[in-house]
């Protein structure tokens, strides 16, 4: 068939074309992945503030709610940040499904190749597909909660969710999935775009060191929320306010209504 005489696009798919779109979509996938990866590093540190005590986590929460700028909490600001993350997450997932094996036969071929060649980078890619698939469900549920109920974030509110609402197994699975997925993703970005310019061996070492660090940090954080939640199980629903804030608030005659 001649590609010069195409009528109403019939047969167009079989003709060689110079389209920039696959490259553009690849760039979108990489940039959204980078934003999510960097966001996750920040997120893990903010959530880990609980390791420094309830006052520290309360302060971080209130910082995001604008309390120290406006003198009043606005949890809606957190929803705005979540909304942005949702858009980036959806774009990233949309770009990723282009690469998913679309039937069992394709899936079997990829796995067989990775196994037969003992090619570590292909095996890592297979793991990225598994964990990415899990995150479709886990991250969506988590982001929904954070978007709709941003006021339920805090030392007691978060710990109650983790322990009394029994969400700790959910967080445990999501933590493993997101750390593996993010670590492999950032490594693949570095290999693909050549920055930082180091050998794969070196990049892989850094990748595993970062994954190990964030996994240990995440597990310690989760254990801290579980412990606080367990100790607080008889008072679910009560919110934490540092003593120094209560004293300041009472002396100003606010009785906690600005929190
Ligand atoms: C702006 C959006 C987000 C906000 C405000 C947020 C907030 C939080 C908060 C407050 C916690 C502590 C537990 C709780 O309160 O339920 C938490 C835990 C967690 N979040 Fe997020 N999150 C966001 C996005 C994400 C995304 C996109 C992921 C990746 C899939 C994620 C993965 C996790 C994990 C794995 C934990 C458990 C951490 C640990 O156990 O150390 N979060 N998040």
Instruction: Name the residue ranges covered by the structural domains of the chain.
Output: 26-235
Output the DSSP codes for 29-58.
HHHHHHHHHHHHHHHHHHHGGGGG-HHHHH
Protein residue closest via CA to atom 35 of ligand 1: 175
Q: What is the pLDDT along the chain (259 residues), one digit of tens a residue?
A: 566 666 666 777 777 777 889 899 999 999 999 999 999 999 999 999 999 999 999 999 999 999 999 999 999 999 999 999 999 999 999 999 988 888 999 989 888 888 888 888 888 999 999 999 999 999 999 999 999 999 999 999 999 999 999 999 999 999 999 999 999 999 999 999 999 999 999 999 999 999 999 999 999 999 999 999 999 999 999 999 999 988 887 777 665 556 7
Do the Cβ atoms of 239 and 169 come closer than 8 Å?
no
H or E segment to which residue 81 belongs = helix 76-97
C-beta separation of 154 from 54 below 8 A: no
> What distance in Å separates the CA atoms of residue 181 and residue 175, rounded to the nearest whole number?
10
Task: Quote the ligand 1 centre to 43 CA distance (angstroms).
Answer: 7
Q: Among positive and negative, which fits the CA dihedral 129, 133, 138, 140?
A: positive
**Cβ contact 50:225 at 8 Å:** yes
CA 50 to centroid of chain Cα atoms: 18
Residue 196 has a pLDDT of: 92
> pLDDT value at position 252?
75
List CB contacts of 65: < 8 A, sequence separation 6 or more. 73, 74, 75, 77, 78, 150
For residue 255, what pLDDT is reported?
A: 58
Which residue has the CA at smallest separation from atom 1 of ligand 1? Answer: 82
258 torsion bin: left (phi>0), alpha (psi -120 to 50), beta (else): alpha
Its sign, for the CA torsion 202, 203, 208, 213, is positive
Residue to mutate (ligand 1; options 32, 48, 171, 183; most atoms within 8 A of CB) = 171
HSE-up of residue 213 (Cα within 13 Å, Cβ side): 11
pLDDT computed for residue 15 by the predictor:
75
DSSP annotation of 238 reads P
Say how many Å lie between the CA of residue 199 and the centre of ligand 1: 33
Alpha helices in 101-199 (DSSP H): 104-117, 120-148, 155-163, 168-193
pLDDT of the residue at 139: 98
pLDDT of 6 reads: 67
Ligand 1 mean position to 142 CA, how many Å?
Answer: 7
Tell me, in angstroms, the distance from the centre of ligand 1 to residue 236's CA: 20
Output the residue whose Cα is nearest ligand 1's atom 16. 158
Nearest CA to ligand 1 atom 2: 82
Of 219, 214, 221, the C-alpha closest to 40 is 214
The phi and psi torsions of 139 (rounded to 5 degrees) equal: -65, -35
Domain 26-235 has CATH 1.20.1300.10: yes
What are the pocket residues of ligand 1 if the criterion is a CB atom closer than 6 Å to any ligand atom?
43, 47, 78, 81-82, 85, 89, 135, 139, 142-143, 146, 153, 158, 161-162, 171, 174-175, 178, 218, 221-222
């Amino acid at each position: 068939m001649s590609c010069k005489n195409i009528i109403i696009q019939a047969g167009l798919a079989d003709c060689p074309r110079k389209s920039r779109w696959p490259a553009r979509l690849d760039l979108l996938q990489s940039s959204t992945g980078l934003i999510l990866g960097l966001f996750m590093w920040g997120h893990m540190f903010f959530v880990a503030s609980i390791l420094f005590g309830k006052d520290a986590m309360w302060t971080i929460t209130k910082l995001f709610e604008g309390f120290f700028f406006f003198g009043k909490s606005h949890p809606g600001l957190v929803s705005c940040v979540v909304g942005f993350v949702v858009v980036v997450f959806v774009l990233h997932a949309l770009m990723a499904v282009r690469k998913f094996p679309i039937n069992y036969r394709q899936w079997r071929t990829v796995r067989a190749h990775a196994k037969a060649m003992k090619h570590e980078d292909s095996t890592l890619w297979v793991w990225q597909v598994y964990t990415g698939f899990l995150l479709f469900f886990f991250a969506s549920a988590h982001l929904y909660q954070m978007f709709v109920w941003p006021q339920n974030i805090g030392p007691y509110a978060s710990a109650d969710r983790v322990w009394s609402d029994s969400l700790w197994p959910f967080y445990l699975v999501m933590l493993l999935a997101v750390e593996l997925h993010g670590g492999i993703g950032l490594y693949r970005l570095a290999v693909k775009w050549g920055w930082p310019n180091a050998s794969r061996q070196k990049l892989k070492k850094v990748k595993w060191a970062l994954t190990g660090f964030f996994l240990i940090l995440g597990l310690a954080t989760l254990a801290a929320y579980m412990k606080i939640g367990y100790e607080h199980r008889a008072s679910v629903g009560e919110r934490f306010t540092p003593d120094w804030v209560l004293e300041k608030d009472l002396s100003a005659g606010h009785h906690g209504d600005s929190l």
